[in-house]
Amino acid sequence: MQDKDLRCQAKKLFSFFLAMSGWAWYNVGMKATPKLSQPSKMPCKSWSLPAWTTCPGARNADGSAVDACSMCYALQGRYTFGAVKEVRDHNLTDWTESDWTDAMVKAIGKSTYFRWFDSGDIYSPDLADKIVEVCQRTPNCQHWIPTRAFKDARIQPLLDILNALPNVVVRLSSDSIDGETIEGDNTSTIIESPEDFVSGKGRVLCRAYTRAGKCGSCRACFDKRVKIVSYPRHGRKVKTIKAAGYIG
C-alpha cells in the first residue's frame, strides 16, 4: 500500500475513534470535552444540561412545576433517549473542569449564533461566571440564553453582566402559559394560540409553527431589540414527570 493510502486510512481510523468516543477535534489535549447538540428547530448549536435537576427556577415553593415547565419538551420524547440524556449528563460534570471555558470557546469557534440551554438552566453562580467568560471571548457570535435563573439572587447580577454584553441576549422566561409577561429588558412568554398574540413595539410572535417547527431565517430570540417573544403553546403536559422522579 502506498504511503498516501496508509495516511488516509490512519486519518479515517482516527476520525472514527473520535466520533465513537464522543470527542471532537477541538477538544484533543483538553480535560474538558463539552458536547454540543443541534436542536432540530435551531439555526445553530446548543450546550445543554439535564432538564429539571438543573432548573431550580422551574419549581413553585411547594416543589411542583411552574405552569410553563409542567409542559417541558425536554422531559419528553427523544429527550428521554439514552444518547440524548448522556450528552446532558456529561456536560453536567464537564463544565467544572478548569479548562472548560477554553474548550467552549474552541467549540463555538466561528459560529455566528449559539443557543444556551436547549434544556436545563444556569443553576450555579460558578457556571454563570464561566458563561460570562465564554461570551466575552466569542464576540463575533450572538448568544441567546433563555433562563429562569433570575429568581436566584446569587445568579441574577451575573445575568445583568451577561445581558450588558453586545453579543448576548439573556431572555427571562415567564412561568405563564397564558401570555403573562414579566419585567425585564428581554423576556418571553407562552400563549395559548397565535390568535392570543398581543402585537406592539418590541413584541414578536414565534412563527416556527408555520415552518414545521423550525426557526428558518428568524433570529428574534437573539435580538436585543425584541423585548418580548410569545411562543404559542405546543406539546402536552408532562404526565410522567412525577413517576420519573423529577418532582418530589
Binding site for ligand SF4 (CB under 6 A): 204, 206, 208, 215, 218-221, 229
How far from 36 is each of 39, 48, 234, CA to CA, in Å?
Answer: 10, 7, 25
Specify the residue, 42 or 103, whose C-beta has the smaller distance to ligand SF4. Answer: 42
Tell which residue, 39, 173, 28, has the closest CA to residue 106: 28
- In terms of CB distance, is 1 or 212 closer to ligand SF4? 212
The residues facing 59 across adjacent strands are 65
- The Cβ-side half-sphere exposure at 166, using a 13 Å CA radius, reads 2
Q: Which helix (H) or strand (E) element contains residue 230?
A: strand 228-232
> Minimum distance between the CB of residue 170 and ligand SF4, rounded to whole angstroms?
14
Question: Which residue matches cell numbers 435551531?
Answer: 42
Supply the minimum distance, in Å, between the C-beta of residue 204 and ligand SF4.
Answer: 6
- Give 103 or 221: the residue with its C-beta nearer to ligand SF4: 221
Helix axes 125-136, 156-164, angle to 10 degrees: 10
Smallest distance, Å, CB 111 to ligand SF4?
Answer: 15
Give 135 or 221: the residue with its C-beta nearer to ligand SF4.
Answer: 221
CB of 177 to ligand SF4, least distance (A): 16
Cβ closer to ligand SF4: 35 or 115?
Answer: 115
Closest approach, Cβ 87 to ligand SF4, in A, equals: 21
- How far is Cα 180 from Cα 209, in angstroms, rounded to an integer? 20
Q: How far is CA 134 from CA 86, 120, 137, 142, 148, in A?
A: 23, 18, 5, 12, 20
